[in-house]
Structure 1
Amino acid sequence: MKTKVLAALAATMAVGATCAFAANPFVDVPSDSWAYKSVVELADAGIIQGVDGQYFQGNRNITRYEAAEMVAKAMAHMDKASVEQRALINKLADEYADELNNLGVRVSALENRVGNVKLTGDARIRYRYQSEGDKIKGTDQVVNEKQTNDNSWDYRVRVRANAQVNDRTNVVYGITTGVRSFADNGSASEENNVTTDRAYVDYNFGGNNWDLMVGRYEYIMGGPRAYGFFYGDTFDGAQLKYQNDKFAATAGYGKFKEGPIGGAWTVDDDNYASAKTAYGELEGFFGGGRMAGSAVGVYYNNIMPKAEVLNDIALDNIDVWGAYASVNFGKWNALANYETYRDVIDNGNGSKDNADVWVGKLTYGAANFATPKSWDAWVEYLNADQFDIAGTFIGSTNGWRNDSLTSNVKSWGVGVDYTFAKNAQFQVMQSFATSAKKGDADPGEETRAQFVFVF
């Protein structure tokens, strides 16, 4: 690790040097130091920033994430590198590929290694089985039929094209098969057609602290560190984000295209859901910074259903407040997430029904697609109230649980993720001790196993 980082510094020094007479930005690097010239050139090129903008701290070991950032900045100067330097930087980019890709470090030169457009994607083969239908307590009467083996197997393929317009602008376009059941026998029904699920422009400015995204993108309520119980997989809108190593603020507006409020509620064959939302998020990072450390966050959504009345129920705007804390300690991560949904339904007498969701999750290890034989194991607890609309919660297309296990339930879950080969991972999840919070019908337990391949 240390040798590779020193090699990266040597390469980036030659590639990124712009002015040998630039001012020294670090108070702890004297002018007579053997490293003075190299440190000043690296700082002037923007490859290193030091600590708190004043100290170089040359004896401190750096993290993999800090090394990845230096590699990213070196790659921005690839056009000035020699053949040997290009080979070294490409090797380092492969070494830190997971940090660069999975933690949000935007590296324009990484896409340029294979041209102006980079194709990526993933494929998933999934098995889901619910042990029984919703059974009335103390009887053998089943309210909802169980999921059978005929429709337990499904697959999905997604392809992404990332076009690097310039050092600040990306254009992304993606298509998906959607979730297709093997029981369909390849039928080409309208809902099974390949669709566009990504089509957006991403623009960085203000020293890359600001990011503007416009178009069709992925939106997760609470951000990628939260549990993501409420989810808009395909979302048309615009989002503005500011972030540094200690703080992030996000604001956006758009329309859900997936999940129940993206179109599942219908009246007389007309789509009455298709909800819009305005959202905001505030996050703080500590114990390692934005990429590697722990985080806390709060978020708000004002969701506006398209219909004013659905099945004789008046729909009001839905105010959603949430908070999360994600804390790392060694190889462990503890996540707690709370959401509350307010002013949802007018029951006709002026009263409203509210719903709360509590989620706790404890994870050990990290299954990394780029690292064969890496793995993690987790356990979680879910306590979710029920909305009275359609007898289900208003949304959840992100979680692994089937719809009947995301609303009006108390439930535990366990899972293991294992990378059995580079870019190939096996994941298994199981619910247990699941019970309904209201009423007499308990949902059955769910088993889910899947192979995921990325390319």
Structure 2
Amino acid sequence: MKSKVLAALVATMAVGATCAFAANPFVDVPSDSWAYKSVVELADAGIIQGVDGQYFQGNRNITRYEAAEMVAKAMAHMDKASVEQRALINKLADEYADELNNLGVRVSALENRVGNVKLTGDARVRYRYQDGSKENDNSWDYRVRVRANSQVNDRTKVEFGVSTDNHNFADNGTASNTTQKENADIYVDRANVDYNFGGNNWDLKVGRYNYVLGGDRAYGYNYGDTFDGAQLRYGNDKFAATAGYGKFKEGDVAGVDYNAFAKGTGIAAKYIPDGIEGTKTGYGELEGFFGGGRAAGSAIGVYYNDFSSNDETFGGQADDLWGAYGSLNLGKWNALANYERVSYEKPVSTERGMQDDAAVWIGKLTYGKASFAAPKSWDAWVEYINAQDGAFFGGSTNGWRWGNHMDNIESWGAGVDYTFAKNAMFSVMQSFGTNTKDGSNADPEEQTRAQFVFVF
């Protein structure tokens, strides 16, 4: 690219400078040149320095690194740019993202550009199988999600997202079929504002967001999905405290329909989750980070949820839940241990009789780290779940298993994730050694899952 072409592009981005009071620093740019005004403005703004401080050399080809250097300097003036100028800076920053990274302008800095709107998403095709399960008729499914993230200013971000949810290929009905249309509904799963303040240590999020019960580092055994609420977080590289309140929007979380149970169905109450979406909870979490900080180090945390009844749960629901986790990062190895105990407002009927609480232990060991941005990166993991009857109350779990491999069970699992191309990952998971804990039911068959995920 010739410098005069780039100068013409970047000229519209020269901000905070007026050539009326700027002197021409280059001896080879005459005052009658078509590029004179733009070159002087760019030099006065500090975006270009020329060659040897005296020559512009407008006909010389420049390298991508030189172009990236100009873009980086233009980015430094973003706060003074107009909307149109920001759009052009953003476009050039995307073009020279790799070179900007090498120059020390990290990708995270690019994503935080004021006025930036970034459209992302993912598409997943998944296969799930368990011998003898009715779910096998719908073994193949897909999901597509789209996200729009906007950096409104240096403190405020806005996120909006839609999802098709999981739509299985066995739905062969016509487009006019009511069930088909309901299954294919697209819904809003993200709509929130995130405000950072107090020296960047305080963060307030309000709206619809992804909530993992236990936080980002925990397993997400009982819930990891769409949530409407407000969350306040204080954090630094050593410590974080989170508090929030809101409603669960997916899955049969924290509730039991005792009305149905009272009608003499003969089915244990905990297996009749009806109308549970909308159950409210207040939650809190304390975390400590060490050996590399919050982003890459190890962590320990404790968390608590207090559940509230909605009209349809008739008060017969999970009352509260507390848990703790530890995540130990040792180079390429990571070890996770997670414990949860749920208490019920009224005793629930389980295979062990009427129980008012239940617990689960989870362990997971991972080697390596598959990254969508790094082709040929991979990881392998093994996990162990030991859950008492009633520990899993029917939520939209963040785990990979079907519900019958989450409750009253002792089971192992293993998997591999492999990034076979940039932004494209293949994963396979398998359970083994699965047994019911009380021995009263036949042991379930093992589960297999494989999936392709593409991000864009």
**Deviation at residue 189 of structure 1 after TM alignment:** 2.5
Cα distance change, pair 87–447 in 1 and its aligned pair in 2 (3 A): closer
Contact 1:266 / 1:273 at 8 angstroms: preserved in 2?
no
Q: Paired residue for 1:324?
A: 325
**Deviation at residue 197 of structure 1 after TM alignment:** 0.5
Contact 1:357 / 1:382 at 8 angstroms: preserved in 2?
yes
**Deviation at residue 228 of structure 1 after TM alignment:** 1.1
TM value normalised by structure 1: 0.71
Contact 1:393 / 1:406 at 8 angstroms: preserved in 2?
no
CA distance in 2, matches of 1:434, 1:320: 25
Contact 1:262 / 1:274 at 8 angstroms: preserved in 2?
no
Alignment of 1:305-320 (within 5 A): 305-307=309-311, 315-320=316-321
TM value normalised by structure 2: 0.70
**Deviation at residue 441 of structure 1 after TM alignment:** 2.2
Contact 1:175 / 1:196 at 8 angstroms: preserved in 2?
yes
CA distance in 2, matches of 1:231, 1:74: 44
Alignment of 1:102-117 (within 5 A): 107=109, 109-110=110-111, 112=113, 116-117=116-117
2:294 paired with 1:298: no
SS at match of 1:147: helix
Cα distance change, pair 272–223 in 1 and its aligned pair in 2 (3 A): closer
More displaced stretch, 225-234 vs 420-429: 225-234
Contact 2:220 / 2:397 at 8 angstroms: preserved in 1?
no
Task: Name structure 2 gaps, 5 residues minimum.
Answer: 1-71, 82-88, 261-272
**Deviation at residue 394 of structure 1 after TM alignment:** 3.1
Which of 380, 384, 388 is the matching residue for 1:385? Answer: 388
Cα distance change, pair 316–175 in 1 and its aligned pair in 2 (3 A): closer
**Deviation at residue 96 of structure 1 after TM alignment:** 11
2:219 paired with 1:227: yes
Letter in structure 2 aligned against 1:173: F
Cα distance change, pair 74–449 in 1 and its aligned pair in 2 (3 A): farther
SS at match of 2:170: helix
Alignment of 1:52-451 (within 5 A): 90-91=97-98, 107=109, 109-110=110-111, 112=113, 116-130=116-130, 132-133=131-132, 145-148=133-136, 150-185=137-172, 187=175, 188-261=180-253, 271-272=275-276, 274-307=278-311, 315-346=316-347, 352-387=355-390, 393-438=393-438, 439-451=440-452
SS at match of 1:387: coil
Contact 2:239 / 2:289 at 8 angstroms: preserved in 1?
yes
Contact 1:75 / 1:89 at 8 angstroms: preserved in 2?
no
CA distance in 2, matches of 1:261, 1:119: 31
CA distance in 2, matches of 1:118, 1:309: 40
Cα distance change, pair 420–252 in 1 and its aligned pair in 2 (3 A): same
**Deviation at residue 89 of structure 1 after TM alignment:** 7.6
Question: Deviations 1:201-246 (Å, cap 9, x if unpaired)?
Answer: 1100011111100001000011111111121411000000011010
CA distance in 1, matches of 2:450, 2:337: 24
Question: Deviations 1:155-209 (Å, cap 9, x if unpaired)?
Answer: 0000011122111111111000010000012654324310000111110001111
**Deviation at residue 425 of structure 1 after TM alignment:** 0.3
**Deviation at residue 345 of structure 1 after TM alignment:** 2.8
Letter in structure 2 aligned against 1:172: E
CA distance in 1, matches of 2:149, 2:258: 35
Of structures 1 and 2, the larger Rg is shown by 2
**Deviation at residue 305 of structure 1 after TM alignment:** 3.1
Quick one: percent identity of the two aligned structures? 62
**Deviation at residue 277 of structure 1 after TM alignment:** 0.4
**Deviation at residue 346 of structure 1 after TM alignment:** 3.1
CA distance in 2, matches of 1:249, 1:74: 37
CA distance in 2, matches of 1:191, 1:265: 24
CA distance in 1, matches of 2:405, 2:396: 10
Cα distance change, pair 409–94 in 1 and its aligned pair in 2 (3 A): farther
Letter in structure 2 aligned against 1:360: G
SS at match of 1:442: coil
SS at match of 2:203: strand
SS at match of 1:171: strand
Cα distance change, pair 118–264 in 1 and its aligned pair in 2 (3 A): farther
Contact 2:249 / 2:277 at 8 angstroms: preserved in 1?
no
More displaced stretch, 257-266 vs 362-371: 257-266
More displaced stretch, 357-366 vs 188-197: 188-197
CA distance in 2, matches of 1:299, 1:96: 41
CA distance in 2, matches of 1:353, 1:431: 29
**Deviation at residue 384 of structure 1 after TM alignment:** 1.0
Contact 1:203 / 1:213 at 8 angstroms: preserved in 2?
yes
Q: Paired residue for 2:17?
A: none
Q: How many residues align?
A: 356
Contact 1:228 / 1:399 at 8 angstroms: preserved in 2?
yes
Letter in structure 1 aligned against 2:166: V
Contact 1:255 / 1:277 at 8 angstroms: preserved in 2?
yes
**Deviation at residue 426 of structure 1 after TM alignment:** 0.3
Cα distance change, pair 152–317 in 1 and its aligned pair in 2 (3 A): closer
